Structure 1
Amino acid sequence: MTNARDTTLLNELLLQHDETFWLEFKQNNTDPAMIGKRCSALSNAARSRDTDYSYLVWGIEDETKKIVGTTFQPETKKVGGMVLPMWLAQRLKPSIAFEFKTVTYEDKRVVILEIPAASGSPVLFEETPYIRIGSATPKLTDYSERYQLLLNKLRTYQWENEPAISRVSDDDVLDFLDYASYFRYTGQRLPEGRTAILEHLNADRLIKKGNKNSWDITNLGAVLFAYQLSKFGSAIERKGVRFVAYKGKNRAATVSHRLDGQKGYAVGFEGLVSFINGLLPTNEHIGEALRESHPLFPELAIRELVANALIHQDMSIRGAGPLIELFEDRLEISNPGVPLMQADRMVDLPPRSRNEALAALMRRMKFCEEQGSGLDKVLTQAEIFQLPAPLFLAAEDSTRVILYGPRSFAEMTDEERIRSCYFHAVLKVLSGEKMKNNTLCARLGIQPQNAAQASKVINKAVSAGLIKPADPERPRAGYIPSWA
């Protein structure tokens, strides 16, 4: 069945008098290599000219724009035993969210290939980038000025402002986005009338004006306030948060709970955190006077780490989103993209985010702490509940934070003790103090008569280059991080 928005799109494309850098018409030329090169060329050309999408259209006569129809069926066309979309996806780097659309128009079959503009880097086909110049598709590397122009455009690219879905009506916007949650979380009164609602959404860049009387819902609007992420296509759907709980201490254990987020981050955040907290076993924490039961991991730490994964993920990595895994003894939170700073300096250095608009709106809605204070609070919570310091890991294309359950000093590994010592020194220097033997004893639950155990940890942290004496001439002055 033909989608009404696809028919509208075809009508708009047919109004173009000539092929442009972002549009090309074909009748039945379906050579796979040609399609792959065009995907690279049109995607790169679209970003160079600040256009969100480019298109290849089959079933249209090139010269006359007459609709003649096509026999091309991309979903069943095979290339070396592989269907064409999969074949293309494997040869285009980085992966882009192209989409074939089939439209029945005047009783004839028309196929549209919608190609998003390049985002993180130039799009390559079989390791070669191409560009569109007139009706030619040369290698981008042969045109240094155009290559530099594209690189300059990519530096200013903002994923949040790009359209997740285009050409939607006023009613579609209100059907696709949970606008009531937007007004509630931002502390604004829900205005009367559709026009006023749309004006507010537009002001916060959740939607933007499209062609004629339509709207584009931006990636920011979709990923935060979608009633259902799948309505925006696979590229947005796969940004949903996934949660898996295991009955053991590794991924070979039985899965007890699984949740694949289908709502926007803002719409589903509170429910997700409550769901996780509801699964946590309790741990007895000894306060000043009473023994109290608390969840295994403090809720504030979970909120901050989940929000951090949402905000700092690399949105240009297709097919990946935040992942939360709960084990018997730890919680692991991963997001696509390497951190923008070294792992052991995330707490003290000024924060940097790939997604500034997303980060600002999440903080404005109070889903996380003010800029720069979130990880401080995670570490402070770990100290209050005597958990080992969280472990921050940077992999090739992802960032992972591991929050461990309570352990006594005897149960901690040497690495956990040294890491906890380092971050204790970081928190102390951020509050204008110095770490000392007695403060580390309190942090690690070491009895005063066993203070020599804390001294051994401090010596190992000094040897590892993580901390140093605050004053080498005065050993009792305490210790500070090596970078302080």
Structure 2
Amino acid sequence: MGTTFNPELAKASGKNKMPLITFLDKFVDPRLSLKWHSITINSKKVVCLVIDVSFVNIPISFKGGKYIRSGSSVESLSMFHEKERALWASFESSKFELEIAKRNVSIEDIKRLLDIDFYVEKRIDFENENLLTNLLDDHIIEQSGNKFNITNLGAYTLAKNMRDFNNLTNRTLRIIKYDGTKHLDPVTFDRSGMLGIANGFNNIILNIMSLIKYHEDYSSGIRVDIPEFPLIAIRELVANTLVHQDFTINGTRPKIEIFNNKIELYNPGAPLIETNRFLDSEPKSRNNELADLLHKLGVVESRGNGIGRVVDSLESAQLPAMSIIVKGAQDTIVTLRQQKKFNDMTITEQD
């Protein structure tokens, strides 16, 4: 039959008659790459809409609502719990964790490239005579004939030198310290980790704690240096930044920026649950294998209560509540700010 439809001229329904393309950009979240193509078939005009969803890692919403087709009608996704669970599962980036970082390696190569001593020491319920079995069960390696492949999961968590895994060097955590309160101020420290995030985790925390301010406390009769931000909050938030990053997003990495008055933690990707439900929602992870392995290695504790410990530690230190900003599907930024007088805090910080 053909069509006379022109997406460049089309208007959305409603009072404002907003241009259709602008309307979709404004009310569809995350913003999608929409490409309209007009072709002619048998002298008839056909308009095709191509939607690039390769970067989409959360259900798409329209005007804040998420919907699913049920037969010939469109219903709220919240009415179909099993379908919603299946949809969330489809967004997991576990496939990245199980992709291959290095192929056809021997046992000797594995011990040379990965920190197996750390793994043996820290792995919960490790049985020494079953090293290969444990490595295979934890998806650190996979069998490949008479040799093995090291997975991204194994390399990212246990690498002795991340430069040995070219596809992962731009995924390591970057720490930047500014001598001031703005990005334009001089940089005094800028380093990206070269160890795996498990065997290098304590070094990450030590670096951060060495870059923040301390104050002297004599309440116990002796001098005690108290960090401006609680160690437990730093540990939990760094672990969250690493565990919950979206590996499907290219060209970005987890990052921590330390200023004289705050710390900002950048995590590639949007969270899988609403930020105002972090404390009372069941935990959801897009990287289940990574979260499970870090738990087995003692880097993270039981899943789901880390944010609660952060909140408690900030309250005990009389610090403002952390702020969480989600920038579309690309970034989540968590900010810790230094101590303020209550009257100087924003309403969000007072909560």
Q: TM-score, normalised by structure 1?
A: 0.52
Instruction: Provide the C-alpha distance between the structure 2 equivalents of 1:296 and 1:308, rounded to a whole number of angstroms.
Output: 20
Instruction: Provide the C-alpha distance between the structure 1 equivalents of 2:217 and 2:276, rounded to a whole number of angstroms.
Output: 28
| 2:170 pairs with 1:170 | no
CA shift digits 1:350-400 (9 cap, x unpaired):
111100111122123222232111111111111111110000111120111
Cα 1:172–1:288 change in 2 (3 A) is closer
Which residue in 1 is equivalent to 2:336? 403
Cα 1:157–1:403 change in 2 (3 A) is closer
| 2:149 pairs with 1:216 | yes
Larger radius of gyration: 1
**Unaligned segments of structure 2, at least 5 residues:** 1-51, 59-86
Which of 181, 198, 207 pairs up with 2:132?
198
Cα 1:323–1:329 change in 2 (3 A) is same
Instruction: Provide the C-alpha distance between the structure 2 equivalents of 1:155 and 1:373, rounded to a whole number of angstroms.
Output: 23
1:259 deviation in Å?
1.3
How many residues end up aligned between the 2 structures? Answer: 270
Cα 1:228–1:190 change in 2 (3 A) is farther
CA shift digits 1:156-201 (9 cap, x unpaired):
7622222122222222212111111111121456736xxx432321
Cα 1:339–1:285 change in 2 (3 A) is farther
Give the letter for the 2:323 counterpart. L
1:247 deviation in Å?
0.5
Matches within 5 A, 1:60-459: 158=94, 159-187=96-124, 191=128, 196-210=130-144, 212-233=145-166, 235-284=167-216, 293-396=225-328, 397-410=330-343, 412-413=344-345, 415=346, 418-422=347-351
Structure with the larger strand share: 2
Instruction: Provide the C-alpha distance between the structure 1 equivalents of 2:307 and 2:100, rounded to a whole number of angstroms.
Output: 32
Alignment RMSD: 2.8
> 8 Å contact 1:160–1:220 — kept in the other structure?
yes
> 8 Å contact 1:317–1:337 — kept in the other structure?
yes
> 8 Å contact 2:93–2:286 — kept in the other structure?
no
Instruction: Provide the C-alpha distance between the structure 1 equivalents of 2:142 and 2:127, rounded to a whole number of angstroms.
Output: 20
CA shift digits 1:16-55 (9 cap, x unpaired):
xxxxxxxxxxxxxxxxxxxxxxxxxxxxxxxxxxxxxxxx
> 8 Å contact 1:245–1:258 — kept in the other structure?
yes
Percentage of matched positions with identical amino acids: 32
Which has the bigger relative contact order, CA under 8 A and spacing at least 6?
2
Q: TM-score, normalised by structure 2?
A: 0.70
Instruction: Provide the C-alpha distance between the structure 1 equivalents of 2:324 and 2:93, rounded to a whole number of angstroms.
Output: 28
CA shift digits 1:51-72 (9 cap, x unpaired):
xxxxxxxxxxxxxxxxxxxxxx
> 8 Å contact 1:285–1:385 — kept in the other structure?
no
Cα 1:209–1:340 change in 2 (3 A) is same
Which residue in 1 is equivalent to 2:33? none
> 8 Å contact 1:224–1:267 — kept in the other structure?
yes
> 8 Å contact 1:344–1:392 — kept in the other structure?
no
> 8 Å contact 1:225–1:264 — kept in the other structure?
yes
> 8 Å contact 1:206–1:222 — kept in the other structure?
yes
> 8 Å contact 2:217–2:224 — kept in the other structure?
yes
SS at match of 1:230: helix
Q: Where does structure 1 differ by over 4 angstroms across 4 or more consecutive aligned residues?
A: 92-95, 153-157, 187-190, 284-292
Structure with the larger helix share: 1
> 8 Å contact 2:320–2:337 — kept in the other structure?
yes
Instruction: Provide the C-alpha distance between the structure 2 equivalents of 1:385 and 1:156, rounded to a whole number of angstroms.
Output: 36
Instruction: Provide the C-alpha distance between the structure 2 equivalents of 1:230 and 1:120, rounded to a whole number of angstroms.
Output: 28
Instruction: Provide the C-alpha distance between the structure 1 equivalents of 2:295 and 2:93, rounded to a whole number of angstroms.
Output: 22
